[in-house]
């Protein structure tokens, strides 16, 4: 039997900075990009290889957005052929715990599913 709900329920968690963070890591590919950058600086083509399936277009789009938001740092190395280093800023590094938590849960979810099938 279901217990009757108190009119004010169990109190919803205070207020939600979820969107705040999701606006940053919400975009397609974005978590993957940040995740790969979390291991250290990468060049454009390295990232393109790491983040399997991403197109150059999307990768640039996301990197630009992340750079504008102060999450990643872009450093052009003047050389021929030119290379560009992408890395997480301090601000970007703060996202790591969240990404790791997601990875962790993803792992446990996978285990559960595999166990059931």
Partner DNA sequence: CAGTATCCCGATGGATACTG
Partner DNA sequence: CAGTATCCATCGGGATACTG
Per-residue interface string for the shown chain with a second copy, residues 55-94, x marking contact by CB under 8 A: --------------------x-x-------x-----x--x
Q: Tell me whether residue 10 or residue 114 sits nearer to DNA (CB atom).
A: 10
56 binds, among DNA, a second copy, none (CB under 5 to 8 A by kind): DNA
Please say which residue, 8 or 57, places its beta carbon nearer to a second copy.
8
Instruction: State the nearest-atom distance from the C-beta of 8 to a second copy, in Å.
Output: 11
Among 4, 6, 57, 116, binds DNA (CB under 7 A): 57
CB 57 within 8 A of CB 8: no
| Stretch of residues binding DNA (CB under 7 A), selected from 4-12, 23-31, 87-95, 106-114 | 23-31
Q: At 1, list the tokens.
A: 């039997």
What is the SS3 string spanning the chain?
A: CCCCCCCCCCCCCCCCCHHHHHHHHCCCCHHHHHHHHCCCCEEHHHHHHHCCCCCHHHHHHHHHHHHHCCCEEEEEECCCCCEEEEEECHHHHCCHHHHHHHHHHHHHHHHHHHHHC
**Residue 16 touching DNA (CB under 7 A):** no
* Cα–Cα nearest to 89, from 109, 69, 107, 104: 69
**Interaction site with a second copy (CB under 8 A):** 2, 5, 9-13, 16-22, 24-25, 31-32, 35-36, 38-42, 46, 50, 75, 77, 85, 91, 94-95, 97-110, 112
């Amino acid at each position: 039997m279901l217990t009757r709900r108190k009119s004010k329920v169990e109190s919803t968690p205070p207020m939600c900075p979820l969107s705040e963070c999701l606006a940053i890591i919400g975009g397609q590919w974005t978590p993957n990009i940040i995740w790969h950058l979390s291991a250290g600086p990468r060049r454009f083509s390295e990232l393109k290889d790491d983040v399997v399936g991403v197109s150059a277009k999307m990768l640039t789009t996301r990197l630009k957005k992340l750079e504008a938001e102060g999450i990643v740092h872009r450093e052009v190395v003047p050389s021929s052929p030119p290379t560009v280093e992408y890395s997480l800023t301090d601000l970007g590094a703060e996202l790591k715990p969240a990404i790791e938590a997601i990875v962790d849960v993803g792992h446990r979810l996978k285990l559960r599913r595999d166990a059931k099938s």
